[in-house]
Structure 1
Amino acid sequence: MSIPNQLQRVIEEFEAAPGSLRLPLLLEYSEKVPPLPEHLADNHDEMEQVHECQTPFFLAEEIDDGGRVTLYFDAPPEAPTTRGFAGVLLEGLNGLRAEEILAVPDDFYTRMKLHEVISPLRLRGIGAILFRLKRRLRERVGAGA
């Protein structure tokens, strides 16, 4: 298991932040989640819903010919902590190769000390997002995507 450099920078940013600033920092990452592209915007059928999240959360990925992954997330603006984690994943994983994402430890976010600022139920949702993303990538890479 390894952590890509771009994700390591995000983790270190959270590790260095005082506890009182971790939640505001996570909320800043919620603003980094762009709107869905047109082909997914009104088509959640092409995305996977992460039912473990307390709010409707959908994800999708595309793998280009070079094996690079583009991530897409959809969560309502009124769910800023969930959107914040989506922003963390976008910042830390978007554009990497599928194998690099699959090598990320499933609990990497524990190093970000998020357990100090968000509930265990939300942490469960965060873990489920990464789990489902990795499962989808395994299926695609195994299928020769």
Structure 2
Amino acid sequence: MTDDATTELPPVLAEIRDDFLALGERDRLQLLLEFSRELPDLPARYQNAPGLLERVEECQSPVRAFAEVEADGVHLYATAPAEAPTTRGFASILAQGLEGLTPEQALAVPDDYPFTIGLTNAVSPLRLNGMTGILLRAKRQIRDQVAAG
């Protein structure tokens, strides 16, 4: 990642990245577990119809997510089982980090963001690929909604 990409990171995602990088590896895992407990609840329209959320095939755990573009910005809704705290933590980071961004800001988030938060030695590459899958899926959904007007 270039310095330009780093400076263009939305403030919440930059802060999350910096918080992770300020810690040792063991503490980074603890922070990820804290994020797993902060995954926002689904709105009622999704709680009653989880099939409206798209399955994230790149995740080993059953993760479903959907990004919406509303007048007040982007919202990422996701579900991940409590017994998969790593994946749930990644979903929470992205839900919090994309919240309220303009579509342009969300689409500008580097695809390799999951690899920049200092977890490459602490979690498996498959799990990092799962987080990347959530991000790429959200960006595709945002692009589709913007194109549809």
Q: TM (normalized to structure 2)?
A: 0.91
| Cα RMSD (Å) | 1.2
Could you tell me which runs of 5 or more consecutive residues in structure 1 were left unpaired when the two chains were aligned. none
- Same amino acid, percent of matched pairs: 44
1:105 aligns with 2:110: yes
Q: Is the 8 A contact 1:10 1:91 kept in 2?
A: no
For these two proteins, the number of residue pairs brought into alignment is 143
Aligned residue for 2:23? Answer: 17
Alpha-carbon offset, residue 43 of structure 1 = 1.1
User: Which of 78, 82, 91 lines up with 2:87 in the alignment?
Assistant: 82
Q: AA paired with 1:28?
A: E
Q: AA paired with 1:45?
A: G
Alpha-carbon offset, residue 142 of structure 1 = 1.1
Q: Distance in 2 between matches of 1:45 and 1:15?
A: 36
What CA deviation, in whole Å up to 9, does each residue of 1:46-74 have, x standing for no partner? 111001101110111222224x0111110
Q: Structure 1 residue runs of 4+, over 6 Å off?
A: none
Q: Secondary structure at the match of 1:69?
A: strand
Q: TM (normalized to structure 1)?
A: 0.93
1:143 aligns with 2:143: no
1:46 aligns with 2:52: yes
Alpha-carbon offset, residue 90 of structure 1 = 2.0
1:60 aligns with 2:66: yes
Could you tell me which runs of 5 or more consecutive residues in structure 2 were left unpaired when the two chains were aligned. none
Q: Secondary structure at the match of 1:81?
A: helix
Q: AA paired with 1:54?
A: Q
